[in-house]
Amino acid sequence: MELQQILNRMQIAELNAMQQAVLNTYDRTRDFVLHSPTGSGKTLAFALLLAQRLEKDKQGVQALILVPTRELALQIEQVMRKAFSGFKITCVYGGNDTKTERNKLREAPSLLIGTPGRVMYHIERTYIDVSTIQTLVLDEFDKSLEFGFQEQMQFIIEQLPRLQHRILTSATKMTDIPSFTGIGDFVTVDFSADADTAPKLTIKKVITPAQYKLSTLFKLLCKNGEKKTLIFCNHREAVDHISELLENREIIHDMFHGGLEQEDRELALLKFRNNSNRILITTDLAARGLDIPEVDVIIHYQLPYKEDAFIHRNGRTARMQASGEVYVILKPEEEYPYVPEDSETVLLDEEYPLPPNSPFATLYITGGKKDKINKIDIVGFLLNLDGISKEQVGIIEVKDKESYAAVERAVAASIIKQANNQKIKGRKIRVGRT
């Protein structure tokens, strides 16, 4: 498979230093281990390696990618679909409908992506024929261990009789790789401490007594205005508490944590990506492996207990060598060894206007890939409505059974009124607010 074809489909002009090193170092006869920070482009790096191993018109699952979270599984699925044209790709994960997944697995994909528990579920019930799998990718392996997936991963690996090649990626450097992985003779590319791929961050401190912490956060959001912001908390309760505050002030935002339904979590990320909202409040669930581009600001409302978690949170901004701001909210007596002592202390001693809400809103459309509907179809449909111009249509994402379109809030009601019960590609659709 031609490298340039993949880059063209991904709309990438050139590889970064880490990705180029991966290509230059790769040896088909040896296993491969990649250490590189969050946000440095590991998914594309191992996709380029898979491109050298996947064969067109070959029956059965050729490669399996195991990941620690369903969000990461879905993100990798998107990347692989762009990279590999003509290959069937299937994604399975906890929280998804098992019957739907079984139906997809009846015709074996070339590439299977999944979380350990769900892949194990399908293997135990023989919904996956493991006899054809020759390549295994253990992505964000350190996080999978942290989440306690060792037993499931070990079970899966033991069921792969024809496994020939293993690829392991980790955001942190691993001195000892567990024997159950089966990784023996391997090549390593280590960019874990590389300055060129590390985020270029400006870390700032905000000092406030505990009783004023929430109002200080609100003031900081007002000061930062329309900057795209991720707020990290240690606990779901804190996420909910901040959300209540913003709800009362009519500030558009979303939440992301493990207590939410999968559908709500995916929609929160989608709206953050397409700029329908500029504030996302989250736990560490969003700190690793998620596709959240162009974040301007990270705010640590509560600091994590370990430095690794702090680094991975900050990897959500300054992705791919861009720059970003990190704010740490501390009580006067608090000290954390991983927060630089010489960090600038920010004073919030002015009155700031409320942060403006995004001019865009997200609409859902009841039609997707299964109905042969694509982005161009939706753009054309919207622009044919009265009073809608191309400047009023933003990012569009097409799923299997539904689609989502960012449109200017000012025309959202008009679009809903005009579009309902109209047809796209001969299929009657409904349109509504998310």
**DSSP bridge pairs for 190:** 35
Q: Are residues 205 and 186 in the same domain?
A: no
**pLDDT at residue number 322:** 55
Rounded to an integer, the average pLDDT of 92-121 is 94
Verdict on whether the full-model pTM lies above 0.75: no
Q: Is the pLDDT of residue 199 over 70?
A: no
* 229 within domain boundaries: yes
> Within a domain: residue 409?
yes
d(CA 396, CA 368): 11
130 within a domain of the structure (yes/no): yes
368: pLDDT strictly greater than 80: yes
Token output for 40: 């440095």
Report the DSSP pairing between strands 111-114 and 135-138.
Answer: unpaired
Q: Is the pLDDT of residue 108 over 80?
A: yes
Judgement on whether residues 137 and 166 belong to the same structural domain of the protein: yes
Beta bridge partners of 329: 206
Residue 287: what pLDDT?
63
Beta sheet of 89-92, edge-to-edge order: 89-92, 111-114, 63-66, 135-138, 165-170, 31-35, 186-190
pLDDT of residue 5: 84
Same domain, 59 and 167: yes
The encoded tokens of residue 246 equal 């913003």
33 and 177 assigned to the same domain: yes
Q: How many domains does the chain have?
A: 3
39 lies in some domain: yes
Q: What is the DSSP string of 234-262?
A: SSHHHHHHHHHHHHHTT---EEE-TTS-H
> CA 142 to CA 173: how far, in whole Å?
9
- Strand 403-408 and strand 393-398: the pairing is antiparallel
Question: Do 78 and 181 fall within a single domain?
Answer: yes
The DSSP H or E segment spanning 215 is: helix 213-224
Residue 20 clears pLDDT 70, i.e. is over it: yes
Mean pLDDT along residues 372-387 = 93
Give me the amino acid identity at 57: D
- 380 and 322 within one domain: no
Higher pLDDT, residue 308 or 27: 27
pLDDT band, residue 316 (cuts 50/70/90): low
- pLDDT classification of 290: cutoffs 50, 70, 90: low
Do 60 and 86 lie in one domain? The reply is: yes
Among 28-42, 218-232, 241-255, whose mean pLDDT is lowest? Answer: 28-42
For residue 355, tell me if it sits in a domain: no
Tell whether 351 is covered by a domain: no
Last residue of a domain, one of 345, 377, 412: 345
Task: Report pLDDT for 107.
Answer: 94
Question: Of the ranges 65-69, 298-302, 322-326, 403-407, which one carries the lowest mean pLDDT score?
Answer: 322-326
Closest CA to 91 of 128, 55, 145, 57: 128
Does the residue 195 lie in any domain? no
Is the model more confident about 407 or about 41?
Answer: 407
- Cα–Cα nearest to 230, from 312, 160, 166, 156: 312
What is the sign, positive or negative, of the torsion defined by CA atoms of 42, 43, 45, 50? positive
- Same domain? 377 vs 305: no
Backbone angles phi, psi at 420, to 5 degrees: -60, 135
pLDDT for 120 = 97
Percent of the chain with pLDDT over 90: 68
Final residue in a domain of this structure, among 161, 190, 219: 190
| pLDDT exceeds cutoff 60 at 117 | yes
Both 333 and 364 in a single domain? Answer: no
Cα dihedral 33→38→40→42 (10° resolution): 40
pLDDT score, position 318: 45
Q: Are residues 142 and 251 in the same domain?
A: no
Mean pLDDT for the chain overall? 90
| 122 has a pLDDT exceeding 80 | yes
Instruction: Mention every residue, 6+ apart, whose C-beta is less than 8 A from residue 223.
Output: 348, 350, 352
Tens of pLDDT, residue by residue over 33-75, are 999 877 778 999 999 999 999 998 899 999 999 999 888 898 8
Residue 313, pLDDT > 90, answer no
pLDDT band at 261 (very low <50, low <70, confident <90, very high): confident
Instruction: Give yes or no for residue 93 having a pLDDT over 90.
Output: yes
The residues facing 31 across adjacent strands are: 186
**Would you say 265 and 256 are in contact if contact means Cβ atoms under 8 Å apart?**
yes
Domain around 380: 360-433
Residue 329 and residue 217: Cα distance in Å, rounded?
A: 8
**The last residue of a domain, from among 310, 345, 380:** 345
User: Do both 108 and 228 map to the same domain?
Assistant: no
Please tell me the least confidently modeled range out of 36-45, 124-133, 217-226, 354-363.
36-45
| 207 and 183 within one domain | no
Please state at what angle helix 375-383 crosses helix 409-419, rounded to 10 degrees: 90
Q: What is the pLDDT of residue 19?
A: 93
Check residue 306 and give its pLDDT: 83
Domain membership of residue 80 (yes or no) is: yes
Tally of CB atoms within 10 A around 235: 11
Burial of 339 (0-12, 13-18, 19+ CB in 10 A): middle
The CATH number of the domain where 331 resides is what?
3.40.50.300
| Domain at 384, CATH number | 3.30.70.330
Reported confidence tier of residue 1, pLDDT bands at 50, 70, 90: low
pLDDT at 230 over 80: yes
